[in-house]
Structure 1
Amino acid sequence: MELGITTFAETTPHVGTNDKATHAERLREIVAEIKLADEVGLDVYGVGEHHREDYAASAPAVVLAAAAMQTTRIKLTSAVTVLSSDDPVRVYQQFATLDGLSNGRAEIMAGRGSFIESFPLFGYSLDDYDALYEEKLRLLLNIRDNEIVHSTGTHRPSIPGLGIYPRPVQSKIPIWLASGGTPQSAIRAGELGLPITFAIIGGSPLYFARLVELYFQAAAKAGHDLNTLHIASHSHGFIAETEEEAIEKFYEPLRRSMNAIGAERGWGDYTKETFDFARSMDGALYVGDPKTVAEKIIILRKEVGVTRFMIHIPVGSMPHKDVLKAIELFGTKVAPIVREEIERWEALL
């Protein structure tokens, strides 16, 4: 059971003061967060890609490379790479470079992206949303598996037997498929034999047990070894010494963030009632003291089968000292509870 952190490098105004970090300040904070996550024994840290004012990380591989030189063991991944609007050759080269700098700790989480700003920015049509992803994923896997690449495509020029460099320290950089929770994504990942990350940010996490079942069914039908497959979840959350403190510090930044995105997408208002259900044992929000958060992660492992859990901290902008404290608690308090219980549980199976 791997445990980690994700961030989108939010640069929205802070609650109370309306001050906000510059993009440069937030990027430096992320490097400090990754360094701390490594020091407290967490397994993975992911940086998301966005191309808008309220997020600072449009180039996750660069941010992760800065952290690579200050860490020793933590895995470094995108969360996600918007593959549809990027070039698979450059994506691979960037993460192979990161892999070299980190001595074999790079991963790629490839997705379509729930934010679409990158499509017009790089000259792609949303009419080709599905076709772009299918073609570019196929090419990325080709590059991963072959030093000399032959490829043809509709949306990207062909590659006539050319070498793609540098090659990574790992024999193959892990490529995870990112899914918002559709059966089609689960089946695609299973057919390709790729690990999958589910964004579990609403509703009941137990719903995803059915998607995991579909994933394994597709993988078995395609002839993949099920013992080599991994399932990750990505959920919003925050940890403090007490449940009351976690709620007090996290609710308003979360509410502001969800309502800002909701205004763009036509969602209803994010209310305290919504928040309270989501942080209950039946919901998808991991907010509270270390024991409460650990218990919810353990349920997710036992009932859904995830082998990696990543908590997104923060959602909306929060004081950096509070973010660092949450990361410290995740590594020193939550992780030992989860690992001990999962080890005990698996020994009984």
Structure 2
Amino acid sequence: MELGIGMFGDLQIDQKTGAIQAPQQRLHEIIEEIKLMDEVGLDFFGMGEHHRPDYAVASPEIILAAASTVTKRIKLGSAVSVISSSDPVKLYQDFATVDLLSNGRAELMAGRGSFIESFPLYGYDLKDYSSLFTEKLNLLLQINNNETVNWTGKHRASLINQEIYPRAVKKLPIWVAVGGTTESVIRAGKLGLPVMFAIIGGTYASFQSLFEVYQQAYTDSGHDMANFQVGVHMHAFFGDNSKAIAEWYYPFYAAQMNRVGASRGWPPYQRSQYDFGRSKHGHLLVGDANEMVDKILEIQESFDLTRFAAHMDVGSPDHAQMMKSIEIYGTQIIPKVKAALAK
């Protein structure tokens, strides 16, 4: 199983004044954090795409290109690229460029995104939400597989004998990120694409049926199980002492849940939700190394994962603590997880 980190580029917001951290500062911090991930042995890093004042990154591929010049081995991908409001041609070209810069370490994770700001920003209608995703994913896959493309669709001008450059070192690994929709899971299974499940609430066991549906769609479509890949993306933060890091991190996490919840009509985030999330079967991995090793192994055993992504910057914790959390993950958690899985 590969173990890595996903981030959205959250900007820290002062709880008293409402002042938002300068994006320039956060971007430089992110590059330092990715560099450390590479040094301590993480397998992959994923960067999200957002178009809001409380996030620093609108173009994951630019961050990944910068990271490619200060890293040597870590895989670099999006988490996610909002493909519905992107041009698949430009998206492929950008990630092929990252792939060339990184000597073949680029990946692309396609998703619908958890926010809708990109649709009006780039001139798309939300009523086309599903058809945009399906059509653009199919075009992206065709570009990835073919240097010369002939394609006609509804939402974009046709491509006739169009050569698309630059080309990646090899075919780009393309993942699909899904939440809780069966339709998305079945589509990915039929296409034979690896899936990353975002488990960001409730219990992880509640996703068991979706994992089974995905595997069934994958095998029913004739895909080779030797190539089967599946992962989870879960909110996480690590410290030396489980109770101390949970207490320290709670205000950052709760504030972000309330910011997102305010725009979606959610009730105020409660401490009981946080404590349940941290419990044995909950969706949060916040604690010390030994606790987290056990929980990651339990999750892996439940789903037979090939990838685990710790989403580590929810609420934008302090950079120094982020660096500490990354160090603990790379030097204490990952080696123990991999040693246990190798037995």
TM-score norm. by structure 2 comes to 0.98
For residues 298 and 20 of structure 2, the distance between their equivalents in structure 1, rounded to whole angstroms, comes to: 36
Instruction: Indicate the SS of the match to 2:107.
Output: strand
For residues 20 and 115 of structure 1, the distance between their equivalents in structure 2, rounded to whole angstroms, comes to: 19
For residues 174 and 126 of structure 1, the distance between their equivalents in structure 2, rounded to whole angstroms, comes to: 28
Runs of 4+ in 1 over 2 A off after TM superposition: 14-21
Classify 1:15/1:288 alpha carbon distance in 2 versus 1 (closer, same or farther; 3 Å): farther
CA deviation map 1:40-85 (0-9, x unaligned) = 0000011000001100100100001101011000000100000000
Question: Does structure 1 residue 6 correspond to structure 2 residue 6?
Answer: yes
Deviation at residue 12 of structure 1 after TM alignment: 3.0
Task: Report the equivalent of 1:123.
Answer: 123
For residues 197 and 181 of structure 1, the distance between their equivalents in structure 2, rounded to whole angstroms, comes to: 11
Classify 1:334/1:14 alpha carbon distance in 2 versus 1 (closer, same or farther; 3 Å): farther
CA deviation map 1:93-132 (0-9, x unaligned) = 0000000000000000001111000000000000000010
Q: CA RMSD in A?
A: 1.1
Deviation at residue 35 of structure 1 after TM alignment: 0.4
For residues 304 and 15 of structure 2, the distance between their equivalents in structure 1, rounded to whole angstroms, comes to: 36
Deviation at residue 229 of structure 1 after TM alignment: 1.4
Task: Report the equivalent of 1:347.
Answer: none
For residues 224 and 16 of structure 2, the distance between their equivalents in structure 1, rounded to whole angstroms, comes to: 52
Query: Does the 8 Å contact 1:34/1:67 carry over to 2?
Result: yes
Task: Report the equivalent of 1:145.
Answer: 145
Question: Does structure 1 residue 111 correspond to structure 2 residue 111?
Answer: yes
Task: Report the equivalent of 1:240.
Answer: 239
For residues 14 and 284 of structure 1, the distance between their equivalents in structure 2, rounded to whole angstroms, comes to: 26
Task: Report the equivalent of 1:77.
Answer: 77
Q: Which runs of 5+ in 1 are unaligned?
A: 345-349
Aligned AA (1:137): L
Aligned AA (1:81): S
Task: Report the equivalent of 1:179.
Answer: 178
Question: Does structure 1 residue 89 correspond to structure 2 residue 89?
Answer: yes
Deviation at residue 18 of structure 1 after TM alignment: 5.9
Of 240-249 and 83-92, the range deviating more from structure 2: 240-249
Identity of aligned residues (%): 50
Query: Does the 8 Å contact 1:14/1:253 carry over to 2?
Result: no
Query: Does the 8 Å contact 2:20/2:54 carry over to 1?
Result: no
Query: Does the 8 Å contact 1:212/1:305 carry over to 2?
Result: no
Question: Does structure 1 residue 35 correspond to structure 2 residue 35?
Answer: yes
Aligned AA (1:55): Y
Aligned residues: 343
Task: Report the equivalent of 2:289.
Answer: 290
Q: Which runs of 5+ in 2 are unaligned?
A: none
For residues 178 and 53 of structure 1, the distance between their equivalents in structure 2, rounded to whole angstroms, comes to: 23
Aligned AA (2:190): E
**Aligned runs of 1:36-75 on 2, under 5 Å?**
36-75=36-75
For residues 15 and 250 of structure 2, the distance between their equivalents in structure 1, rounded to whole angstroms, comes to: 10
Question: Does structure 1 residue 206 correspond to structure 2 residue 205?
Answer: yes
Deviation at residue 181 of structure 1 after TM alignment: 2.1
Aligned AA (1:39): E
For residues 18 and 128 of structure 1, the distance between their equivalents in structure 2, rounded to whole angstroms, comes to: 35
Question: Does structure 1 residue 338 correspond to structure 2 residue 337?
Answer: yes
Task: Report the equivalent of 2:280.
Answer: 281
CA deviation map 1:217-252 (0-9, x unaligned) = 111111100120100111111100001221122100
For residues 247 and 18 of structure 1, the distance between their equivalents in structure 2, rounded to whole angstroms, comes to: 23
